[in-house]
């Protein structure tokens, strides 16, 4: 059987889509993706995965109905389980900036992806600063408006199921307040992390600056991203959430498209 605590998440596949019968514009879109490799950035939803200490756990139960030959499961989970998006309403309580997941336009979830790597970090609530991000840009690629920024803190090694996964929840790294402010100034559309939260394990002194800075500006947060080591500095990203009425977030299937 599968060793407990492994992720079963190293999937990738080449895009092969027929274009017969498509409109010229649709065929052009398909042809532009053909030959690209799709990299899965999504955690497996399974029993015992790490969840934020105050959030619901994940449960999967077999569902049977008399006379129904179909097989199915009932899922019980929080909106912020596994690889998931935070909508602004996760932290914005009032006013026009309080947007729920079902109110967000589809273009919010798709875009050019800038992947940065920092660390590895000890379990000491480390914070990546704005100066570190600027230095990364100088050596790699500049962040532009409407980019998706994914930050690889090299924390994936701690993701395990059951009690072995407690280390994933122990003093993880995150963004500093000035780093969150810098990304907001750059007008990115989404910021993601391979940790349980974009704020460090101690909340940055309890201030949760990343959440309180980005979400009110309409910048979404993606957490528990996997397989970031497989991405180059630039790629194309997509992560579609469930259309949950008044949802403060949603699990997603996050993927990146890499050129051949």
Per residue in 79-119, pLDDT (tens digit) is 999 999 999 999 999 999 999 999 999 999 999 999 999 99
**pLDDT tens digits, 225-253:** 999 999 999 999 999 999 999 999 999 99
191: left (phi over 0), alpha (psi -120 to 50) or beta: beta
What does the DSSP 8-state code read for residue 74?
Answer: E
pLDDT at 5 over 80: no
Between β-strands 249-258 and 84-86, what pairing exists: parallel, antiparallel or unpaired?
Answer: antiparallel
- CB neighbourhood size of 22 (10 A): 14
Q: What's the rounded Cα separation, in Å, for the pair 203 and 243?
A: 29
Confirm if 239 and 109 have CB atoms less than 8 A apart: yes
Sorted by where each begins, the domain ranges of the chain are 79-258
Q: Which parts of the chain fold into alpha helices (H)?
A: 24-33, 130-139, 177-185, 203-206, 209-214
| Beta-carbon-side half-sphere exposure of residue 198 (alpha carbons within 13 Å) | 31
Q: What is the DSSP letter of 11?
A: -
Of 68 and 138, more confident: 138
Per-residue model confidence as pLDDT tens digits over 136-187: 999 999 999 999 999 999 999 999 999 999 999 999 999 999 999 999 999 9
Is residue 8 pLDDT above 70, yes or no?
no
Quote the CA–CA distance of 15 and 140 in Å, as a whole number: 27
CB-CB contact of 103 with 245 (8 Å):
no
Name the architecture of domain 79-258. Answer: 3-Layer(bba) Sandwich (3.50)
Per-residue pLDDT, 9: 54
> According to the model, what pLDDT value does residue 121 have?
97
| pLDDT at 1 > cutoff 70 | no
């Amino acid at each position: 059987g599968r060793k407990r605590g492994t992720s079963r998440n190293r999937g990738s596949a080449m895009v092969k889509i027929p274009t017969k019968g498509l409109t010229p514009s649709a065929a052009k879109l398909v042809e532009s993706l053909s030959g690209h490799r799709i990299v899965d950035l999504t955690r497996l939803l399974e029993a015992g995965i790490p969840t934020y200490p105050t959030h619901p756990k994940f449960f999967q139960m077999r569902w049977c109905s008399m006379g129904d030959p179909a097989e199915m499961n009932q899922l019980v989970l929080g909106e912020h389980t596994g690889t998931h998006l935070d909508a602004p309403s996760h932290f914005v309580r009032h006013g026009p900036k309080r947007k729920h997941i079902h109110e967000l336009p589809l273009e919010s979830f798709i875009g050019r992806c800038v992947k940065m790597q920092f660390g590895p970090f000890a379990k000491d609530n480390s914070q990546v600063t704005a100066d570190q991000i600027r230095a990364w840009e100088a050596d790699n690629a500049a962040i532009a408006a409407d980019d998706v920024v994914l930050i690889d803190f090299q924390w994936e090694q701690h993701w395990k199921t059951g009690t072995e996964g407690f280390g994933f929840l122990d003093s993880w790294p995150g963004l500093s307040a000035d780093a969150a402010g810098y990304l907001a100034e750059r007008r990115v559309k989404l910021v993601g992390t391979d940790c349980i939260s974009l704020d460090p394990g101690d909340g940055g002194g309890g201030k949760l600056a990343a959440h309180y800075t980005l979400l009110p500006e309409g910048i979404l947060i993606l957490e528990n991203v996997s397989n970031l080591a497989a991405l180059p500095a630039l790629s194309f990203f997509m992560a579609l959430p469930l259309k949950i009425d008044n949802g403060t977030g949603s699990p997603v299937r996050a993927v990146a498209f890499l050129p051949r």
